[in-house]
Structure 1
């Protein structure tokens, strides 16, 4: 297990104590070697416990929030340009709110995963509703062009 370089192997192997930020470095033996057994333990107040699992997916939470915000910005820009203010009723506000909630839940990995899924579900539902609206708007425009000629 020690020789494999995959991410799963990294989190499953024994890590040892992890120094906390801002605290002095761990005591070292002569010539920079580790100290003798028993002088350094994970229960020492200067060291945190080894990581229990992979960190929460911060990148996934940020990506889902960026897509939600960009969809909101695009809708607002189109609404201002077309002056169809009723379109703001279909804004992706739940996606933005869930994306922010995912970022606020960072230490708790299962919660972050759940809110990332919720945010992407809102983003995809928003895109589906927008596609249906744009297709119907295009069909209506074609109908009026054919009717006018």
Structure 2
């Protein structure tokens, strides 16, 4: 059960990136919100008596969290390059 809660907490913490993007005026960061990871994390916590379903949703949630982290880096690199170009001019 601890792994399911950890996956859900990590998925919820991943909402910091879209919130920061929205704060900076980059609305397209909302498109990469980790909604599937949060949904699978909730399902893993809710399906407590059925261990097989908990493990399945736990794997799905961690896979979404990992994919979200990779996607965030892919989005962050061009933003950082653009910021360096703007600040250097």
Tell me the CA shift for residue 144 of structure 1. Answer: 3.5
Kindly indicate whether residue 81 of structure 2 is the aligned counterpart of residue 133 of structure 1: no
Distance 1:145 1:78 in 2: 19
- Tell me the TM-score normalised to structure 1 length: 0.55
Matched with 2:65 is 123
What is the distance in 1 between the residues matched to 2:21 and 2:78? 17
- Tell me by how many angstroms 1:136 deviates: 1.5
Establish whether residue 102 from structure 1 lines up as the match of residue 44 from structure 2: yes
- Name stretches of at least 5 consecutive residues in structure 2 with no aligned partner: none
Residue 31 (structure 2) pairs with residue 86 (structure 1): no
Higher RCO (Cα < 8 Å, 6 or more apart): 2
The TM-score, its normalising length taken from structure 2, stands at: 0.89
Gaps of 5+ in 1: 1-57
- Higher CA-based Rg: 1
Counterpart residue number, 1:114 = 56
Give the drift of 1:79.
2.9
Deviations for 1:5-49, whole angstroms, at most 9, x for unmatched residues?
A: xxxxxxxxxxxxxxxxxxxxxxxxxxxxxxxxxxxxxxxxxxxxx
Cα distance 1:79–1:140, how it changes in 2: closer, same or farther (>3 A)? closer
Higher helix share: 2
Shift of the 85–129 alpha-carbon distance from structure 1 to 2, 3 Å rule, reads same
**What is the Cα-based RMSD across aligned positions, in Å?**
1.4
